[in-house]
Every structure is written in C-alpha cells, then in structure tokens.
C-alpha cells in the first residue's frame, strides 16, 4: 500500500521550502524516522525524516526545486506493523486537519467571481478595494495590469542580461540560503517603507570599561561590544515600545511585543543568518556574551535550529571592524526597525570647546514609516546613546 508523505508546516507560517539535498533515491528502502532530505526554510536548513518505513517510489523533485506545504515530498510503498500504523494514522490525521483549514475569506459578487474564472485569476490573491475588502471588477483589471507590467519588465531585464553575458562568465545558481535571503530582502523592502537615520556615539568610556572587564573575566569568555549594545538597545525598547512591534496588516493592528528577543545578524560563508537572544532583558552582559559565542559557532558550522532563529522582536546588525562608517540596513520583516552598529574609530571631536581624541562609533536606525516617525526614532537613538556613552548605567542592573 502506497503512502504519500506531504511537507508539513514545521515553522512559523511556513508556506514552502527548497530541497537542498536528497539522502535517498527512488527504489531505496528506508526505516521509520530515517533521514531522507535537507530542506531550506525561511529561517534554517531542516532535516526531514520519513514517518513510516517502506520502499521509495517517488520523490517531489530535484535538488533546488521548491515544495509547498501540503504537497508530496516522497511517496513510498510502506511496510506496516502495529506501531507504524498508529504513527501513520496520526500523520494522516494531521495532514487531513491541515487540508481542512479554511481558506482566505473572499468577499466578491458572483459576477466578479465569474469574471475572475474567465481571466484565470486566483481571486484569493487579490486585495479588495471596496468597503469591507470587497473585490470589484476594477480590482481584477488592476491585477491584470500589474501582472502584465511585471512580465514585461521581467522579459526586458532578461533580454538585457543575456546581451551583457558571455560564455566566459561564471553562472552560480541562486538557491538555498542565498535565495531565501534574496526573497526576504525583497519582501521587506517592497512591503515596509524604509527610512534610515544616521548618528555617531562617543563610546570612549565603553572601550575603557570593556578593557577593564576583559582583565578580570575568564579568558574563555569572548566579550565583544555586542553584549553591551544588546543591553542598551533592550533598555531603549522598554522606553520606546513601538520599536519592539509588528504590524498586522490584515487586522490593522500594531502589536507591541512584551518580550525582548534580540536577533543578531551573523555573516557566514553561506549567507546572513539571524539567531535570537531570547529574553535579553533578563540576562547579564556575561550571560549574553557566552550565548552569543555559542550561537556564532553554530551559525558558522550550519548547526542552528529553527528554535535558535524564531520569535525575534528586534534585530541588531553590524558591518564589523572592517565595515564602513555608516550603512542603511534592511528591516528584518515583519519587525518594524533594525539597529546598525559600525566600526569604532579614534577621531578628533570637539568636547567643551576643545579638540580631543575620542572613540567614536557610527550607528544607524532603519524603521518602518507606517508605524514609526522620524521624531520618535531620534528619541530612541538618544536612549541608546545615553547608555553606551555612560556604560556605568548598565552596572545598576542586576541582569
């Protein structure tokens, strides 16, 4: 008896995943819970195992293909025993429940639905412009016009790209983590109206404090500036809650998060990943430093789990010691802001009408202008500056 294993929703709102690597082929016999594939979700590479034993008779596609949630991942001729039957029935019931989930509610007159069918339009993909979200004939026509524009632009760009390439050019497939990063960046940039603000902080005291702490701490603890920055940002988020939020467009709600889970952008050879420091407000600087080192190690070894990268409420990114003085990072959507920290450089500045040498750090804030305006972003930056320029304030916190 054949059994079809469908791709389950293994993460927060997962819609599809890319097949990175098959560990099996058609004709192979597999045991229950045996590893069959690696897939790339929006957040991480996940190992997939088969819920039943049997002989594989079909695979979803080649490496690099995309499978949607609910679609077949593998089909096999299964071997059955009592325990497997119980497990299989649970799996089948879960898939049945997923399939019975109600689709998006569509409000449209019969004539509009009929016209959508004639045009071959999936009406659930259209946002109605009339009262209550009702879809009109004009909405269908606008959808067609936008689709034609995109197709024309795509053909134009494609023809130009071909004209400027040659046989000597190297072609690298856009897949895996790099493809996911590209998709997420486009989604963020074209969904949230980005605005960036730039500033510089005098972190001379912070540089001195870190040096003093390094002399006292265990040599195995890698204390960078990032734990101090995370604590300063967390304090600022509590003072300015709209930066620790998301926008629910469907319900027209701004959701202010009451937890402080700070995502940290880490550059790896495979691309950018964003593991999360959970409940950063409840951890000490040393605890954050130890956790950061562990997450960084897992990131570079490609061992981050979905749990490591889920439920972030705000993100910090850095261009590193070799980075430029300023940058305008892209928001880690659906968050509403991202804080950028850049190189610390010794520069001449004016203090009390005198030119002195200070340790200055370039910083930036990029925010979603639908939720946050320019004036609040300035106050948010001032709150961070107050702590980083006077790091002794952090010593007042037990955590």
Q: pLDDT tens across 210-247, in order? A: 999 998 888 788 999 999 999 999 999 999 999 999 99
Count of domains in the chain? 3
Q: How confident is the model at residue 162, as a pLDDT?
A: 60
Least confident of 2-16, 17-31, 56-70, 271-285: 2-16
CA distance 108 to 133: 9
Residue of 259, 246, 263 whose CA lies nearest to 334:
246
Q: Which of 131, 151, 171 is the last residue of a domain?
A: 171
pLDDT(96) > 80: no
> CA triplet 296, 210, 222: central angle to 5 degrees?
25
- Whether 117 and 247 share a structural domain: no
Query: Is residue 70 within 8 Å of residue 15, measured between CB atoms?
Result: no
Q: Is 160 in the active site?
A: no
| CATH assignment of the domain containing 261 | 3.30.559.10
- Whether 309 and 219 share a structural domain: yes
Q: How confident is the model at residue 341, as a pLDDT?
A: 94
pLDDT(102) > 50: no
Least confident of 57-61, 84-88, 263-267, 269-273: 84-88
Q: How confident is the model at residue 12, as a pLDDT?
A: 54
Burial grade of 263 (CB within 10 A; 0-12, 13-18, 19 or more): buried
Helices 204-216, 226-239: crossing angle, 10 deg rounding? 120
**Distances from the Cα of 148 to the Cα of 121, 143, 154, 183, 320, angstroms:** 13, 9, 10, 21, 42
Catalytic residue among 15, 160, 279, 369: 369
Residue 44 is assigned to a structural domain of this protein: yes
Q: How confident is the model at residue 16, as a pLDDT?
A: 80
Q: What residues contact 71, with CB distance under 8 A and at least 6 apart?
A: 6, 7, 60
pLDDT(91) > 60: no
Which residues in 38-70 are b (16+ Cβ under 10 Å) and which e? bbbbbbbbbebebbbbbebeebbeeeeebbebe
Residue of 306, 340, 332 whose CA lies nearest to 200:
340
Per the structure block, which two tokens stand in for 374? 């320019």
- Whether 161 and 27 share a structural domain: no
pLDDT(82) > 50: no
Q: Which of 153, 171, 189 is the last residue of a domain?
A: 171
- Whether 73 and 136 share a structural domain: no
Global pTM?
0.64
Q: Over the stretch 122-170, which tens digit does the pLDDT of each residue have?
A: 888 888 887 667 788 888 888 887 776 666 566 555 555 565 666 678 8
Quote the mean pLDDT of the chain.
84
Strands 35-40 and 16-22: antiparallel
Q: How confident is the model at residue 149, as a pLDDT?
A: 66
Query: Is residue 328 within 8 Å of residue 377, measured between CB atoms?
Result: no
């Amino acid at each position: 008896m054949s059994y079809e294993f469908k791709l389950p929703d293994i993460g927060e709102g997962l819609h599809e995943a890319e097949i990175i690597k098959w560990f099996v082929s058609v004709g192979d016999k597999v045991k229950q819970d045996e590893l069959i594939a690696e897939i790339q979700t929006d957040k991480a590479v996940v190992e997939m195992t088969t819920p039943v034993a049997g002989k594989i008779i079909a695979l979803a596609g080649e490496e690099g293909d995309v499978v949607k949630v609910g679609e077949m991942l593998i089909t096999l001729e299964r071997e059955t025993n009592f325990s497997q039957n119980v497990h299989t029935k649970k799996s089948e019931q879960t898939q049945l429940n997923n399939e019975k989930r109600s689709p998006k509610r569509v409000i449209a007159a019969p004539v509009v639905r009929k016209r959508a069918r004639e045009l071959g339009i999936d009406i659930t993909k259209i946002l109605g412009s009339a009262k209550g979200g009702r879809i009109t004939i004009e909405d269908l026509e606008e959808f067609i016009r936008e689709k034609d524009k995109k197709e024309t632009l795509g053909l134009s760009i494609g023809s130009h790209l071909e004209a400027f390439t040659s046989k000597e050019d190297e072609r690298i497939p856009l897949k895996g983590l790099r493809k996911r990063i590209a998709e997420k960046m486009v989604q963020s940039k074209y969904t949230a109206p980005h605005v960036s603000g730039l500033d510089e902080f005098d972190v001379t005291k912070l540089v001195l404090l870190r040096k003093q702490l390094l002399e006292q701490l265990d040599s195995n603890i890698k204390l960078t500036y990032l734990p101090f920055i995370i604590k300063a940002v967390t304090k600022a988020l509590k003072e300015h809650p709209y930066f620790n939020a998301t926008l629910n467009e469907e319900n027209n709600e701004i959701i202010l998060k009451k937890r402080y889970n700070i995502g940290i952008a880490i550059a790896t050879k495979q691309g950018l990943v964003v593991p999360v420091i959970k409940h950063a407000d409840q951890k000490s600087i040393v605890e954050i430093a130890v956790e950061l080192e562990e997450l960084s190690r897992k990131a570079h070894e490609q061992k981050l789990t979905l749990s490591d990268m889920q439920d972030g409420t705000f993100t910090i990114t850095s261009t590193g010691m070799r980075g430029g003085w300023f940058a305008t990072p892209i928001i880690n959507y659906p968050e509403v802001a991202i804080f950028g920290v850049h190189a610390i450089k010794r520069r001449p500045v004016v203090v009390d009408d005198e030119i002195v040498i200070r340790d200055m750090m370039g910083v930036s804030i990029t925010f979603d202008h639908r939720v946050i305006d320019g004036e609040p972003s300035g106050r948010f930056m001032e709150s961070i500056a107050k702590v980083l320029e006077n790091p002794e304030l952090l010593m007042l916190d037990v955590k």
